[in-house]
Amino acid sequence: MTLFVWITGLCVGSFLNVVAWRLPQGASIVHPGSHCPKCDHVLHWWENIPILSWLFLRGSCSNCGLPISLRYPIVELITGVIFFLVWLRIWFAVLPLSLLIGYGYLAAAIVAIAIIDYENLIIPNEITFTGVATALILAVVYPSSQFVGVTAVGGVASHRMLSNALEVIALRAFPAAFASPRALALLNAFAGALFGLAILWMVLEAGRLVWGRQTVIPEEPEDLEITPEEIRIGEDLVDTWEYLLFRANDTVRIDVDSASLSCTPSCSSTSPKPPAPVTQIVVTQEGLKVGTDVVAWDDLERIEGKVSKWTIPREVMGFGDVKMLAMVGAFLGPDACIFVLMLSAVAGTAVGVALVALRGRSRHAPIPFGPFLSLGTLAWMLSGTAFVDWYTRLVSALIQ
């Protein structure tokens, strides 16, 4: 069984490579089959064997010789190891074997999310939404998947305090409705999803209030180019408007030394060119205020000029992270969300500080949070419950 689980993990890792490559591009993960992106050579079965095929092919396409990234066998190996460790956790803790289904799905999901978020700074809804739905289905089919690893501390499993409190309230308020283990398991999964969504959403909003805007003042005025799709300053793409104006009330303020507006023919009648000099441009979802005049997005062709200062909205994290913790909560319950968030925040902060100190990375540069949430989730799956129980016993002993 151990060998079977490990081989399954390797095969899942091979599939996750496909997911991580195609999903961000909006491509199907089913069709077409695995092929070389350069010559479209369709891989034979013997070219799809996890790890071994990469070694046999010496890391290159058998048809055109295109190098195959080392990431592929690494992801396969890591996924195989994670499946192996999860199996050992279930086996030695004498947990329900049905738990392997949920833990296996969650393990695959966090590996895919870690890769995609690291490379693209996005967490696809296809993974998180499907994950929540899967967790809810498993709660009904295998209710034992929501009642695992119970280690009593003073008669209560310390790593399930929120879940236990919720169950007590539900049983007292609606004893008939929650008499079934399936009902309690479904309640726990729903509560975990909502709790994970809520706590990280509150962190996101609090961070937005404190660090929600970034102002840049260059030493010398830089070239400015604004199009309906994006904004460029100097030689760099600041970002697309879709990302910068994510919220309805988001605004971008640009102080300019000079600016020239190019617009469509209809612009002259609905949004006339502003008189010089223009000192500020304000950009919203509705359009642009250039000087004293408003220009609709449909009328804009291009704005060019010199910028001396700009202020853009900034999110402390993406909403994909929020939905990811909701997925984790649906599988592992509300208590796990606290542990996962705390460990992820500590790890993310440590890595961020190290990157700034060692590599001179800008402290404003985005760091994907998905890999750290994945790390925290894996830690909970393998040893989080034991750690919380140990810590609770330690605190209880010190208090007494």
Could you say which DSSP state residue 43 is in?
P
Residue 70 has pLDDT above 70, yes or no: yes
Strands 280-283, 252-263: parallel, antiparallel or unpaired by DSSP?
antiparallel
Residue 120 lies in a domain: no
Is the confidence at residue 150, as pLDDT, over 50?
A: no
Backbone angles phi, psi at 174, to 5 degrees: -135, 70
Strands, E, within 167-244: which ranges? 213-216, 222-226, 230-233, 236-240
Number of neighbours of residue 288 by Cβ within 10 angstroms: 24
Q: Are residues 345 and 274 in the same domain?
A: no
Q: Which of 136-150, 165-179, 260-274 has the lowest mean pLDDT?
A: 260-274
Examine residue 124 and state whether it is found in any structural domain, yes or no.
no
The reported pLDDT for the residue numbered 331 is: 95
Q: Total domain count for the chain? A: 3
Digit-coded pLDDT (tens) for 185-204 = 999 999 999 999 999 999 99
For the cut 70, the answer to whether the pLDDT of residue 303 exceeds it is yes
Cα–Cα–Cα angle for 93, 335, 103, rounded to 5 degrees: 45
Return the pLDDT at 254: 93
231 shares a domain with 184: no
- The answer to whether residues 306 and 185 belong to one domain is no
Give residue 269's pLDDT: 43
- Find the mean pLDDT for residues 376-390: 84
Structure tokens at 293: 């005049």
The reply to whether 249 and 374 lie within a common domain is no
Which of 262, 285, 313 delimits the end of a domain?
313
Q: Is residue 131 part of a domain?
A: no
Determine, yes or no, domain membership for 381. yes
16 assigned to some structural domain: yes
Cα-Cα-Cα-Cα dihedral sign, residues 111, 116, 118, 121: negative
Asked if 113 and 324 count as a contact pair (C-beta separation under 8 A), the reply is: yes
CB 311 within 8 A of CB 193: no
Q: Do residues 218 and 305 share a domain?
A: yes
Cis peptide upstream of residue 32 (ω within 30 degrees of 0): yes
Question: What are phi and psi for residue 252, nearest 5 degrees?
Answer: -120, 125
Q: What is the pLDDT of residue 197?
A: 97
Residues 221, 304 share a domain:
yes
Check pLDDT > 80 for residue 159. Answer: no
**Mean pLDDT to the nearest integer, 212-229:** 90
Residues 300 and 324 reside in one and the same domain: no
**Residue that is written with structure tokens 């967490």 in the block:** 123
Last residue within a domain, chosen from 313, 341, 373: 313
Claim to verify: residue 143 and residue 85 sit in the same structural domain: no
Question: Whole-model pTM?
Answer: 0.84
The string of pLDDT tens digits covering residues 2-18 is 889 999 999 999 999 99
Mark whether 226 and 244 lie in a shared domain.
yes
Confidence category of residue 154, pLDDT binned at 50, 70, 90 = very low
Q: Which residue has the higher pLDDT, 359 or 273?
A: 359
Q: pLDDT tens across 362-376, in order?
A: 556 778 999 999 999
Helix (H) or strand (E) holding 132: helix 125-141
Q: How far does the chain reach from its first CA to its final CA, in angstroms?
A: 45
What's the distance, CA 155 to chain centroid? 37
Mean pLDDT, rounded, for 302-326: 91
The predicted pLDDT at position 153 comes to 38
374-377: long-range contacts, CB 8 A cutoff, minimum separation 24: 374/110, 374/111, 374/113, 374/114, 375/114, 375/343, 375/344, 375/347, 376/339, 376/340, 376/341, 376/342, 376/343, 376/344, 376/347, 377/106, 377/110, 377/328, 377/332, 377/336, 377/340
Q: Is residue 98 part of a domain?
A: no
- The whole-number pLDDT of residue 155 equals 42
DSSP string, 286-351: SEEEETTEEEETTTEEEEEEEEEEEEEE--SS-HHHHHHHHHHHHHH-HHHHHHHHHHHHHHHHHH
In this model, does residue 149 exceed pLDDT 50? no
Query: Residue 362: its pLDDT value, please?
Result: 59
- Whole-angstrom Cα distance, residue 47 to residue 62? 9
Please state, in angstroms and rounded to a whole number, the distance separating the CA atoms of residues 336 and 93: 18
Per-residue model confidence (pLDDT) at position 151? 40
The fraction of the chain above a pLDDT of 70, given in percent, is 91
Does residue 286 lie in a domain region? yes
Q: Which residue has the higher pLDDT, 22 or 292?
A: 22
Residue range(s) defining the domain that contains residue 244: 213-313
pLDDT tens per residue across span 233-275: 987 777 788 888 888 889 999 999 988 888 877 665 444 454 4
Q: What is the helix, strand, coil percentage profile of the chain, to 5? A: 55, 15, 30
User: Percentage of the chain surpassing pLDDT 90?
Assistant: 47
The amino acid that residue 346 corresponds to is V
> Same structural domain for residues 205 and 235?
no
Last residue of a domain, one of 285, 313, 341: 313
Q: Alpha-carbon distance 94 to 96, whole Å?
A: 7
Q: Are 238 and 159 part of one and the same domain?
A: no
What whole-number distance in Å separates Cα of residue 271 and Cα of residue 288? Answer: 10
The average confidence (pLDDT) of the chain is: 86
The verdict on residue 122 lying in a domain is no
Q: What is the mean pLDDT of residues 288-307?
A: 87
- Say yes or no: 201 and 330 in one domain: yes
